[in-house]
Amino acid sequence: MRVLAALSGGVDSAVAAALAVEAGHDVTAVHMALSSEPQACRVGSRGCCSLEDSQDAARAAEIMGIPYYVWDLSQQFEDAVIDDFLSEYRAGHTPNPCVRCNEFVKFRELLERGLALGFDAVCTGHYAKLIHGESGPELHRGNDELKDQSYVLAVMGSEDLSHVLLPLGEAPDKAWVREQAELRGLGVSNKPDSYDICFIPDGDTGGFLERHLGSAPGDIVDTEGNVLGEHDGYYRFTIGQRKGLRIGRPSESGRPRYVLETDPSTNTVVVGESTLLSVDTITTRNLVWQSGPSELEVNQEAQVAFGATMGGRGLNEVPSEVLTAQIRAHGTPSVITSVQVVEGAGEHLVVTLAEPIRGVAPGQSLVLYRGSRVVAEGTIASSTRVGSRLAPSAAPVPA
């Protein structure tokens, strides 16, 4: 096959491209320049998309003996990822920019351009597995559970999977990947992983938001509306946050307070005790299917049996008949008791969990798995708090 390999400049994408070459594919490398100021996008091992990354990618391609190009996608990245990030925070949500980047830039833009240029597939260094099932390719968790990235790839949709190669899905761990890079002399075997949000390389998300959204002082209130303190901007807070409240006094029970909700319409941050953070029902928007609604049928007996032993089981040990939900890239999956598909102006899901979980914020991605297989993905629109006097958290879903 003619394969377009995305080279980020890191060890994962370099080894993935090398494995594609060794599998006999006709590989061309492309580095996606996502920043208009690449020299400002790395501080130590933080961030990515730097000038250093572009140079490392070019060097790796030269060692592999494959063509190498740089595509300037900085405007697409700004429009699809950064602007969306700011818009979501302005609306009081907590977005995941990596999910958005994978959806609109690293796959949609790369794949559309690649297919238009006559390539058969794109290749990336993501830790996830593609398995060819009876109905076509399926997206599964990677073998390395600590690095598994199936959560951020769930937004791709089933139609794109037939044009994707994920050679690192079978990798046992990151140490093995680094060893493969060293064996091939790719020059990036010891390069540190990037982390944090790539376009906020200093890690100061609050400062970035204030520079773009402006200062917006307002009240911190309890669930009864009593003013407890002031904040510098509601967008600096997310559900479940405890630090930075600066209230100065505990609740009547003496227990610490946590952020329960941010309300842009009143510019308030609502706080309360941790018990009010527990939710067991989540509603999504922007639904993306990896398989059909039939995969959402719940086998209650299997769910209950697995839930009783879940604490000692690995992610890839979840039985194929068990349905779970995950709300963070490397979070612990939750057993599901029911899933309702709601039709209307926007198809969405209402997911009920067997046990309450905390820290669920509008804007996060919820990914459903059957065993290790991704079934569907949606953006969290609202959640119902167990025993709370508050209304369901955040924005309503289209009827």
Residues tagged active-site: 101, 198
User: Pick from 23, 24, 20: which is nearest to 4 by CA?
Assistant: 20
Which is nearest to 368 in space by CA: 381, 352, 382?
A: 352
Helix (H) or strand (E) holding 13: helix 11-22
3-state secondary structure of 242: coil
Residue 388 CA to its chain's centroid (Å): 28
Residue 180, CB half-sphere, CA atoms under 13 Å: how many?
Answer: 20
Please give the helix or strand (H or E) that residue 366 lies within, else none. strand 365-370
Rounded Cα distance between 202 and 196, Å, is: 9
Q: What is the DSSP string of 164-232?
A: EE-GGGG---HHHHHHHHHHTT-S-TTPPPPBS-TT-TT--HHHHHHHHH----EEEE-TT--EEEEES
Instruction: Write the CA distances from 225 to 220, 260, 270, 289, integer angstroms.
Output: 9, 13, 8, 40
Instruction: Return the H-helix or E-strand segment holding 14.
Output: helix 11-22
- Give long-range contacts, CB 8 A cutoff, 24+ apart: 241-247: 245/220, 245/269, 245/271, 247/220, 247/271
CA neighbor of 3 nearest in space, from 164, 223, 127: 164
The whole-angstrom separation of Cα 2 and Cα 118 is 8
